[in-house]
Every structure is written in C-alpha cells, then in structure tokens.
C-alpha cells in the first residue's frame, strides 16, 4: 500500500504566490511535467522522459489555469 506524502509546498505558495501542489501538472520551456516535491525554495518537477525530479525556481514554471 502506498502512503500519500503530505503537500509541503505551502511555504512555496505563500512566498512566491504560485499554485504549486504535489502531483500538479506543469510546463517548463514547452515540456510537460509533474511536481514531485521541493528542495529549499525550488520546486522539483519530473519532466516527461526523465527519471527523477529536477529543481526549478517557482517562477520558471508555467502552472495551468484551474
């Protein structure tokens, strides 16, 4: 059974005013990806075709409109 990880991105949302949430779909430089977590003030995104989350500044990321 998989345990769902808590969404620790509340600090990123508050500090940078972005809607970052774990598991949220995003786009970076035309490539789609999914938010996997955070590292300091950076958001980790697993881009399509990659094996691991890569760190990006929250303002480098395009968040689809909800």
* Domains in the chain, CATH or no CATH each: 10-60 (2.30.30)
Cβ atoms 35, 41 nearer than 8 A = no
Strand ranges of the sheet holding 31-39, from the earlier edge strand across to the other edge: 25-28, 31-39, 42-47, 54-56
Position 7 pLDDT exceeds 80: no
**Model pLDDT, residue 1:** 62
Cβ atoms 34, 24 nearer than 8 A = yes
The CA-CA-CA angle for residues 45, 26, 28, to 5°, reads 75
**Model pLDDT, residue 8:** 80
**Model pLDDT, residue 2:** 66
Helix (H, G, I), strand (E, B) or coil at 11: helix
The first and second tokens of residue 22, run together, are 């774990």
């Amino acid at each position: 059974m998989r345990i769902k990880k808590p969404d620790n991105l509340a600090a990123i949302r508050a500090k940078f005013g972005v809607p970052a949430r774990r598991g949220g779909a995003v786009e970076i430089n035309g490539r789609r990806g999914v938010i996997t977590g955070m590292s300091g003030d950076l958001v980790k995104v697993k881009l399509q075709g990659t094996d691991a989350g890569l760190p990006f500044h929250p303002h480098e990321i395009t968040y689809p409109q909800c």
